[in-house]
Amino acid sequence: MPNQLFLDRKREVLISKGRWFDAWHLVWKQENGVAAINSLEQLSLVDALHWLYTEAPKVRRVPVGVIGPREASREQCALAEEIGHQLGQWNIPMLCGGRDGVMEAACKGCLEAGGLPMALLPGEEWDSANPYVAVPMATGIGPARNALIARACIALIAVGGGYGTMTEMAYGLHFDRPVIALGGAPEVPGALYLDTPEAAMESLGEHLLSLK
């Protein structure tokens, strides 16, 4: 396997290829002495993420951005809700624009899974957020908040969209953030286009654990 992941429960750290994962600085560090392999528990990528974000003693929770249009299709909303749900299950904070369509669907999935959906709103009042935003933050700067979303996140997942989503994707790539796209997201060179939420979350997980 290219990315073998193990859990050292005694030290409460993830191990891979003679390194341990510093969950506060989000980097792998070289082991000082190699733990006996039979003392470690091998984990899948999903199980490693679940442990990291729900059981690890200390982890830096940089949000993942979910971006997409207010005028979204039923299929796009279903994709966004599933992505939000999985982020909520992993206990990873989610950041979006806080309005309707893809944003509302992602917030709904995240909140109902027990997660923390946050929003940077274009308007001047927090109560313009959709009803599923747990942490609404009014910016009063209109579409310029797209750049803030891209800058604040560790990665972006785009579901569908038009020019607004395209700008967020471009900002993300400009800021060296990985951009995962599905559901008919705009074509932006450098983005990774995938077909399913499962594939998108797998790719996201590899990035969060610095495996890509």
Any domain includes 59: no
Query: Same domain for 94 and 123?
Result: yes
Helices (H) and strands (E) counted in the chain, each on its own, are 6, 12
Q: What is the pLDDT of residue 2?
A: 57
The answer to whether the CB of 101 falls within 8 A of the CB of 72 is: yes
pTM of the full predicted structure?
Answer: 0.92
Query: Same domain for 42 and 132?
Result: no
Any domain includes 170: yes
| Range from 18-22, 36-40, 58-62, 141-145 carrying the lowest mean pLDDT | 36-40
Tokens, residue 92: 């990873």
Query: Same domain for 108 and 165?
Result: yes
Q: Name the pLDDT band for 6 (thresholds 50, 70, 90).
A: very high
Q: What is the pLDDT of residue 139?
A: 96
Q: What's the whole-number average pLDDT of the chain?
A: 92
CA 56 to chain centre: 18
Q: Name the pLDDT band for 1 (thresholds 50, 70, 90).
A: very low
**pLDDT score of 72 more than 60:** yes
Number of domains in the chain: 2
Q: What is the mean pLDDT of residues 78-96?
A: 96
- Residue 162 makes CB contacts below 8 A (sequence gap 6+) with 69, 186
Tokens, residue 209: 């654990």
Could you give the angle at which helices 197-208 and 45-54 cross, rounded to 10 degrees?
A: 60
Domain residues for 50?
Answer: 5-54
For residues 160 and 72, give the distance between their C-alpha atoms in angstroms, rounded to a whole number.
7
Q: What is the pLDDT of residue 210?
A: 86
For residues 88 and 3, give the distance between their C-alpha atoms in angstroms, rounded to a whole number.
24
Q: What is the mean pLDDT of residues 109-115?
A: 96
**Span 129-142, pLDDT tens digits:** 999 999 999 999 99
**pLDDT score of 38 more than 50:** yes
Query: Same domain for 94 and 142?
Result: yes
For residue 98, the domain's CATH number is 3.40.50.450
Query: Same domain for 202 and 97?
Result: yes
- Whose tokens are 């199980």? That residue is 47
Domain boundary (54, 74, 93) is at 54
Any domain includes 76: yes
Query: Same domain for 49 and 93?
Result: no
Query: Same domain for 69 and 89?
Result: yes
Q: What is the mean pLDDT of residues 89-106?
A: 95
Tokens, residue 27: 């980097």
What is the length of the chain?
A: 212
Tokens, residue 96: 């979006």
The answer to whether the CB of 114 falls within 8 A of the CB of 108 is: no
Give the rounded percent of residues in the chain with a pLDDT score beyond 70: 95
Query: Same domain for 161 and 202?
Result: yes
Alpha helix stretches (DSSP H) within the chain: 45-54, 74-90, 102-112, 145-152, 163-174, 197-208
Q: What is the pLDDT of residue 46?
A: 87
Query: Same domain for 75 and 175?
Result: yes
Q: Name the pLDDT band for 4 (thresholds 50, 70, 90).
A: confident
